[in-house]
Each structure stands twice: as C-alpha cells, then as structure tokens.
C-alpha cells in the first residue's frame, strides 16, 4: 500500500519548483482523488492530477513537463499496464519515498537537472482540524465537533452486494431464451427466428436494515451513527430502526427530515432515548412485525450495540438465530471492540456472537471505512 501523502507531497513539490502554485488544499485533494478513483493507467493518473492541481490553462504545459519527468508521460500505453515501470502500479505496490531526479524550468526557458541524486520528499503536511477529529472516538467529541464530522459522514455511501431480481435484461450469452424479443425480431425475417434473443436477471442491491441501540451506554455513538444513517434512510432499499426498551422505525422520519434537524426529529420519535436495553425483546418484535413479512429476507442487517442487555442471554440467542436464517448477512457494530483489551464477556454479546457474520467497531470516522467495507462484502463469512 503506497504512502499517498508522501507521493502527493513529492509530486506537488516538483510542480512548485516548475512555477505552479500548489497549496496544501490541492495536495490533499490530489491524495483523496487517488484514494477514491485508484487510477490503473498513466492517462487516468494524469486526469486525477490535472483536475485537482491545475487551475489555469497556462499551467498545463509546465504541468505536463513535470508529469513526464516523474511518471513517464500521459500516454495510455496498454503494453505498460501492470509492468514494473508503470506508475499506476507504483500506487499499489510501491512506497514512493523519493522522487526520481525531477527537472525544473530556469528563467531562460531551459530545463536543468534539479538534483543529481534523488531527493527526500518534503515533510508531510500538517493535519487539518477535520483530520484530527477523524481519529478521535465519537464518545470524546462534543456536539459542535460531531456537527463538523456530519458533513463528511453525509458523503459516505453505504453499498450492499447485489442480488438477481425478477426483472431481466437482454444479453448475448444468457441462459434463458427471450421468447418475446425473439418472435418480435423474427418479423424482419419472414417469421423465421433466425437469431435467438437471450436474457439474464437484472442485478439489484440487497436491502439494508440498520438497528441502532440508543440506550444510555450507547448514546454518544448513537448520535454520531444517526448522522450516517440519515443518508442510509434516504437511499433506496434502506430501513433504520432504533431500540432501547422498545423498537422504533425511524425511516419515515429521517426521509422527511432535513440534514440539520434529522437528529432532533429522531429523538422525538424514539421516546426511550438513553433508557435501558432490551435487545432480545426488540429483536423479537422486529422478527415478528417486519422480519417474517419479508423485510429481512436476503437483506444485510446491521446491529449497532455494545451488547449490554437486561434480558436472558438465551432469548437473545434465539432471536439472533431466527434473524440469521433469513438475512443475507448480519453485521454487529460494537464500538467497545476498538480496545485491544476487549473480550466478549458481556452475556448479550457472547450470546449474539455465533450468529454474526462480522463484528466491527466503527468507533470513529476513520473506522467507518471498515463498516462500509463489511456491508458490501459479497458473501457470508460466519
């Protein structure tokens, strides 16, 4: 895994030496573009850099000169893809600790060697206030700090694996013959079906169901996670529930609420906020009212809770077993697992663990990446 901040700082230092004003904000945007897009060719890498680092058409010519020196040119050479000299491969396999001898333009327009030997990359950029908050536990953040993170959390996408639907689409090598399209096409050949039309099922994302614990022990994390669940509720095929002493469906509330008052409306809709915890009873209600009616069939179910339950562990195990039989995956989000000394000694967590496909912490903004990755995992891993 490459050191993206070091790569971005090294390349932008070479651009700065060529007379292109590149500040910390553009360097951070370039590193983020590499993370999100993961360019696989030199042309894609150039587009990422051009879109984030250049602000004036007059800067394109010196930019291309530096890019050719550092990465070998913007040409999209298929023969170079995946080879040791491919700069896109270096983003995946190498840690670019040094920038190979870059050139910078002199006052008279001539190019001269900047350094005879490879030089060290400049020191990493200072972390912004948002970067510092990303690594802190949600329980340590104030209401104002959570509001700062909410803008980033609303840009996160919760994806689920796909499943075949009942609707079908045309395909060249489908297993089933599309009789209607075949007969329709045969009218052009005098009624003889000279070419068989085939079809395959369309792929649709699996439903996402999130049950969030809002009891007293989970209140700091519940307030942060509801900022993320606001986006999930507004997405297609997503349902959000909260539970403490009772089960509350928040999907209609969050879909009608705006981004600023979503948390306030959720608090008014759930009267048991910061109350006790009855996980087994709430899961039983969900299984009876929603799970058996088809909502949980083939869906990805995420349970956000620390496992503290006032009920009998055997009851929770029974309800988890019922849920796991109909759901595609069951993901348990427990912020307490972030501690290296954590052990599933709580009776509720110990009873639910055998029926979970994955357990993640999601205790801060940086750890939410594990949560989103687990949701999109293609198959069960119990």
Express each pLDDT in 151-181 by its tens digit.
777 777 788 888 888 888 888 888 888 888 8
Please give the residue that has the higher pLDDT: either 75 or 190.
190
Residue whose C-alpha is closest to residue 217's, from 306, 289, 302: 306
- Contact between 182 and 194 (Cβ < 8 Å): no
pLDDT band at 127 (very low <50, low <70, confident <90, very high): very low
Which of 65-79, 88-102, 340-354 comes out lowest in average pLDDT? 88-102
Using 50, 70 and 90 to split pLDDT, how confident is the model at 277? confident
pLDDT confidence bin for 80, thresholds 50/70/90: very low
Helices 60-71 and 42-53 cross at an angle (nearest 10°) of 140
pLDDT (0 to 100) of residue 173: 83
Residue 187 has which token pair?
Answer: 């009218």
Q: Provide the strand spans (E) within 148-286.
A: 162-171, 176-177, 198-205, 208-213, 238-243, 247-249
Whether the predicted pLDDT of 322 surpasses 80: yes
Residue 244: burial class (beta carbons within 10 Å; 0-12, 13-18, 19+): buried
**Rounded percentage of the chain residues whose pLDDT exceeds 90:** 14
Distance (Å, rounded) from C-alpha 143 to C-alpha 172?
55
Res 233 pLDDT > 50: yes
CA distance 289 to 250: 15
């Amino acid at each position: 895994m490459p050191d993206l901040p070091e790569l971005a700082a090294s390349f932008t230092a070479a651009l700065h030496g060529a007379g292109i004003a590149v500040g910390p904000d553009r360097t951070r945007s370039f590193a983020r573009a590499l993370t999100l897009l993961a360019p696989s060719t030199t042309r894609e890498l150039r587009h990422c850099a051009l879109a984030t680092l250049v602000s004036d058409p007059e800067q394109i010519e010196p930019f291309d000169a530096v890019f050719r020196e550092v990465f070998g040119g913007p040409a999209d050479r298929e023969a170079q893809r995946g080879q040791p000299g491919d700069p896109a491969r270096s983003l995946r396999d190498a840690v670019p600790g040094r920038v190979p001898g870059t050139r910078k333009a002199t006052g008279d327009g001539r190019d001269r060697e900047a350094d005879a030997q490879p030089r060290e990359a400049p020191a990493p950029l200072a972390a912004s206030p948002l970067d510092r908050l990303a690594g802190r536990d949600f329980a340590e953040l104030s209401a104002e700090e959570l509001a700062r993170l909410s803008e980033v959390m609303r840009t996160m996408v919760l994806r689920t694996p796909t499943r075949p639907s009942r609707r079908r689409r045309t395909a060249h090598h489908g297993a089933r013959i599309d009789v209607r399209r075949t007969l329709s096409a045969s009218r052009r050949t005098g009624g003889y079906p000279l070419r068989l039309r085939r079809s395959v099922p369309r792929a649709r994302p699996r439903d996402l169901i999130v049950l969030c614990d809002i009891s007293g022990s989970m209140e700091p994390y519940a307030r942060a996670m509801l900022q993320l669940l606001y986006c999930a509720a507004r997405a297609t095929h997503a349902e959000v529930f909260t539970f403490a002493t009772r089960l509350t469906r928040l999907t209609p509330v969050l879909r009608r609420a705006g981004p600023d008052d979503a948390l306030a409306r959720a608090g008014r809709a759930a009267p048991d906020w910061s109350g006790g915890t009855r996980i087994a009873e709430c899961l039983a209600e969900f299984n009876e009212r929603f799970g058996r009616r088809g909502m949980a069939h083939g869906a990805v179910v995420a349970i956000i809770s620390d496992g503290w339950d006032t009920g009998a562990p055997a009851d929770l195990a029974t309800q988890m077993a019922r849920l796991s039989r109909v759901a595609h995956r069951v993901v348990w989000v427990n912020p307490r697992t972030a501690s290296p000394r954590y052990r599933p000694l709580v009776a509720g967590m110990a009873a639910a663990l055998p029926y979970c496909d994955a357990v993640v912490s999601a205790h801060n903004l940086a750890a939410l990446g594990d949560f989103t990755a687990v949701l999109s995992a293609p198959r069960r891993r119990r």
